[in-house]
């Protein structure tokens, strides 16, 4: 039995790891592709387009650009000539040739550089809209809660998820009392705040019971972390794209409001690092594909917004320098700008390290 549990744990870990790498890879690919396409459009020499960091696992040169897949998947880059101070060595000839032809990043007008830098986050928003649209295409538009006790979604980490309940399960009894409607079932669960209760569940042709403890929510009610199934209205492809775009703008607005509340202290700062995100991706994958697609879209929007923050070393910090240059109508000292970005990069590394340590202590 212990061997089976250990094997199941390993499989669950591998599923989470693979899903996390795919999700992060997709987010990074779209972000860097934004920089890449804008740079190509602006006739900037792109020396390398890479997914990941560290040693190259696969590397192929097509035209003037090298495309590579690197060992560590948590990142990526689009290396443009003249984006950083000139590097000495074998790349210097390529750099000098690009400079001679006016194809270096710093040689382009400020407005073009602004677009190249901003396109990373814009592509993250585009990806989110596409993912939301896919959910609408394949699952339809939720229009009303279903009157049954069928579970539509399970909140990762909630009592229902810990007990093994899944989307699609039907609750047929609560503490031995048959239930047929959602409100009736929810009312019974609220009668057992933080008390163990037995729930009988039907999953396809299988009927089984689970024991769990409802948690007290912010509104003071007891709940187990489930949402009702919903009645969905089929949408055409074009309508799905439109609804996906609208939902993207709504989430962007909500996240900016949440960021404002965290900055002003109206809401507690809740920041998760790679470890926590990986855990949440694994939980979302276990709930179902629609939940995973929605969660990936949400993370993509988060990534886009974070990169637009006016912090040195992030795209937002670089955009601030470009805006200042446009206002002054005069280029800034590249060495001073590079120093500011370096300090910001060191600060970000320290912050990420602290967040990872905190996440590990919470998980383990």
Concatenated DSSP letters of 89-105: STTHHHHHHHHHTT-SG
- Region of 72 on the Ramachandran plot (φ > 0 left; ψ -120 to 50 alpha; else beta): beta
Q: Could you tell me what percent of the chain has a pLDDT over 90? A: 32
DSSP state at residue 11: H
Give the Cα separation of 315 and 307 in Å (integer).
5
Region 115-119: mean pLDDT is 96
Closest by CA position to 140, among listed 228, 227, 226, 243: 243
Q: Which domains does the chain have, with CATH numbers?
A: 108-140+236-364 (no CATH), 144-232 (2.30.42.10)
Using alpha carbons only, what angle is made at residue 64 by residues 58 and 70, rounded to the nearest 5 degrees?
20
Answer whether residue 161 shows pLDDT above 50: yes
Which residues does 189 contact at the CB level (< 8 Å), separation at least 6?
174, 197, 214, 222, 223, 224
- Please provide the average confidence, as pLDDT, over all residues in the chain: 83
- Catalytic-role residue among 2, 32, 175, 233: 32
Confidence class for position 364, pLDDT limits 50, 70, 90: low
Does the annotation count 32 as an active-site position? yes
Concatenated DSSP letters of 197-262: EEEEEEETTEEEEEEE-PEE-TTS-EE-SEEE-EEEE---HHHHHHHHHHHHHHHHHHHHHHHHHH
Lowest mean pLDDT among 73-77, 141-145, 335-339: 335-339
Find out whether 146 and 228 touch, Cβ atoms under 8 Å: yes
Confidence class for position 158, pLDDT limits 50, 70, 90: confident
């Amino acid at each position: 039995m212990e061997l089976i549990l250990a094997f199941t744990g390993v499989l669950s870990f591998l599923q989470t790891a693979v899903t996390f790498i795919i999700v992060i890879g997709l987010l990074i690919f779209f972000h860097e592709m934004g920089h890449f396409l804008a740079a190509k459009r602006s006739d900037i020499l792109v020396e390398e387009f890479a997914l990941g960091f560290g040693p190259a696992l696969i590397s192929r040169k097509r035209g003037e650009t090298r495309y590579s897949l690197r060992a560590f998947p948590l990142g990526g880059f689009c290396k443009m000539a003249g984006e950083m101070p000139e590097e000495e060595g074998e790349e210097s000839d390529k750099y000098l040739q690009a400079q001679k032809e006016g194809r270096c990043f710093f040689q382009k007008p400020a407005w073009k550089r602004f677009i190249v830098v901003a396109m990373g986050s814009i592509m993250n928003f585009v990806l989110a809209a596409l993912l939301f649209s896919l959910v609408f295409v394949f699952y339809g538009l939720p229009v009303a809660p279903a009157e049954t006790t069928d579970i539509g979604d399970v909140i990762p980490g909630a009592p229902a998820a810990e007990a093994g309940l899944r989307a699609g399960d039907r609750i047929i009894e609560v503490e031995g009392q048959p239930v047929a409607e959602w409100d009736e079932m929810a009312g019974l669960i609220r009668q057992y705040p933080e008390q163990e209760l037995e729930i009988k569940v039907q999953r396809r042709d299988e009927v089984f019971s689970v024991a769990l403890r409802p948690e007290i929510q912010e509104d003071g009610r007891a709940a187990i972390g489930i949402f009702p199934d919903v009645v969905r209205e089929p949408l055409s492809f074009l309508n799905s794209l439109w609804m996906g775009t609208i939902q993207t703008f709504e989430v962007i607005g909500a996240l900016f409001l949440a960021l404002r509340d965290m900055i002003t202290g109206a809401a507690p700062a809740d920041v998760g690092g790679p470890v926590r995100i990986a855990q949440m991706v694994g939980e979302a994958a276990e709930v179902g594909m629609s939940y995973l697609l929605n969660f990936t879209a949400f993370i993509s929007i988060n990534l886009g917004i974070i990169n637009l923050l006016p912090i040195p070393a992030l795209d937002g910090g670089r955009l601030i320098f470009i805006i200042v240059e446009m206002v002054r109508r005069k280029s800034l000292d590249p060495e001073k700008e590079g120093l500011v970005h370096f300090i910001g990069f060191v600060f970000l590394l320290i912050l990420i390290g602290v967040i990872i340590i905190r996440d590990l202590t919470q998980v383990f």
